[in-house]
Amino acid sequence: MRVVELEVRHVRVALRRKVTHASHVRTETDNVVVRCKLNDGSVGYGEGVPRDYVTGETIDFSFDLLKRSDVAKQLDTDAENFVQAVHLAERLKLAPQASDDRGILGNAARCALELAVLDAFGRAFGEPLTRVTELVAPELYKFRDRVQYSGVIGNPRGWKKRLYPLVYRLAGFKQVKLKVGIEGQDDVKRTKTMRRWLGRKIDLRIDANEAWAPTEVADRIRELEPFGITSVEQPVRHEDVACLTDVRKQVKTPVMLDESLCGMVDAERAARGGWCDLFNLRLSKCGGFIPSLRLAQYAKQHNLGYQLGCQVGETAILSAAGRHFAASVDDIRYLEGSYDRHLVWESLAVDDLTFQRTGWAPALISSGLGFALDSARLDWVTKRKETLLG
């Protein structure tokens, strides 16, 4: 079995609501989608979400990088079984960039390529992506037939400030993430309000999206600790991340890295410098399913925790990939994703993959990514496409 066709698309998907956090305001998303076809007719899809403020990528860069990376030559080999296909996917490399000392420039493009290959071969050999975890990281593997996602509260206005936390509480969510550090907002007042309406039983964590300066970050965290926060995500800019070594000594709340945790170089530096307690693993940001597994392995080896996050504007392709990761990786501290119908106008799936009212969602057990893609919807949101192979 081998790859005979490879196509890359730029898709633009409108969001159902404006998403605001300390780093960005977004009303639509520009994603890269790769289509992979094998010689038996099996077709797979992968998705990446390029963000220039996270990994330095844009759509144009992703297209150019995939065309420059000699992908056809890397895939010019037969896979006789799924094990060989997984090895093939893990070996995929995109052209290195001279200025990229972190090794992350191209992670979204690589994620789209890797997922498309794994999806196609998974369908051909009748294996779901949860099988990838069992093969690559058996010490992490633990299958669950359902998973429960977190709620997220951004910057609601007016009556929605009370509605959102109350809905999560009444629906039975166990975890909620609150975006803080937004310009013009009083974080202490907001967090106090959210805790009041969420109740004391819900696990509440905060995400500052690089909002705070090194000189103030410890004070900002300590101000919010009386409200029972369980972690603080990316409190400073990546350029200032080394200050977190001392900050962690001044606060009680565990620190999670996001924008500063995009690959193995970042993970090694963070562990060596004592910058954090937790990694935020996002498939697109971290370069794909297998690189994210490797980062979870590394975290475990260094007594660090990890969550599975997601990026604003993921369609059903990344939602499905995240579901397979969540249903097969043990000890995930927090879980985000599958916001499909709540956030994007076109999820690209025939059936709805959005989590249920309580945050619970079933594992996907069919082969590959385990869902049917709506090709008409994909065509509708496609802005351009180019052939990489075939």
Task: Please give the distance of CA 322 from its chain centroid, rounded to a whole number.
Answer: 7
Q: How far apart are CA 32 and CA 317, in angstroms?
A: 11
- 331 is annotated as contributing to ligand binding: no
- 258 is annotated as contributing to ligand binding: yes
- DSSP assigned state of 40: T
Number of C-beta neighbours around residue 169 at 10 A: 16
Closest among 312, 317, 311 to 33, alpha carbons compared: 317
Q: How far apart are CA 196 and CA 216, in angstroms?
A: 26
Q: How far apart are CA 134 and CA 150, in angstroms?
A: 25
Place of tokens 């972690």: 231
- The one-letter amino acid code at 329 reads V
In 3-state terms, what secondary structure has residue 308? strand
Q: How far is CA 98 from CA 278, 353, 378, in A?
A: 29, 39, 34
Binding site listing: 207, 233, 258
Binding site listing for Mg(2+): 207, 233, 258
